[in-house]
Amino acid sequence: MVVPSAQNKIMVVDDDPAVRYLISRFFSYNNYEIAAAEDAKTARKIFQIFQPDLVILDVNLPDDSGFNLCQEIRQTGKFVLMLTCLTDVNYVLEGFERGADDYQTKPFNLEILKAKIEALLKRRQVSNNVIYPLVSSYPSRLIFDKLIIDPQKCEVVVEEKIVSLTALEFELLYFLASHPDRVWERSELILSVWSQNDEIGAERKVDVHIGQIRKKIGDFDSKWIKTIRGKGYMFEPPVRK
């Protein structure tokens, strides 16, 4: 369980004042530092000053799409949890494609929302206002031909070039690479990497993240991450040094 402190900052971006008030009051009571915005323009200004660890973000904002804002925020390395009334799986998948770390539909349970946020914050340690990925469970770097995965630096190198992955993408890639030649079902990856299996589009979002990883590491012909039809995914390294 994450122990909330002043370092655990959450920004709520929603045009509904009732939702902003409800979430702000609940998480303030649970010792999180909270900021709120009613539109994308205000959110961008507050974000620069407040520097939250995680943003709870609605899709339908009065001045911009929450998906656009999500993509901007994820480029800074901060977590984003989409909170919206849009339940269609296509919206869910677009959220993940834009970089969302999780997706919660309205109406929602505050305790479940809190559990999702704690699960996300577990992935990083906060020290002196600098966020570092959790690496205690990662013993050593993995080297596969031209692909190097270094958990101590949370860094992926392909052909001597550093590849920028999100924290979740890194964890998913490292998990697969540290268990080579084993087929993992999507539900198993959800439980192993996300530590949950009860969300809308949960298994399909694995496909989205795998696609993003492949694109970033240049695995267009699936030379490393294999799709096993009807089963899931397997990391098949060429030669491990």
Q: What is the pLDDT of residue 134?
A: 37
Q: How confident is the model at residue 133 (pLDDT cuts 50, 70, 90)?
A: very low
Q: What pTM was estimated for this model as a whole?
A: 0.62
**Average predicted confidence (pLDDT) for the chain:** 82
Instruction: Break the chain down into helix, strand, coil percent, rounded to 5.
Output: 35, 25, 40
Among all chains, which residue has been given the structure tokens 């899931």? 232
pLDDT score of 143 more than 80: yes
For 195-225, what is each residue's pLDDT tens digit?
655 555 567 778 888 988 998 999 888 889 9
pLDDT score of 192 more than 70: yes
Specify the higher pLDDT residue, 186 or 22.
22
Average pLDDT over residues 64-84: 89
Residue 124's contacts (CB-CB under 8 Å, 6 or more residues apart) are 53, 131, 132, 133, 134, 167
Domains recognised in the chain with CATH numbers: 9-129 (3.40.50.2300), 142-235 (1.10.10.10)
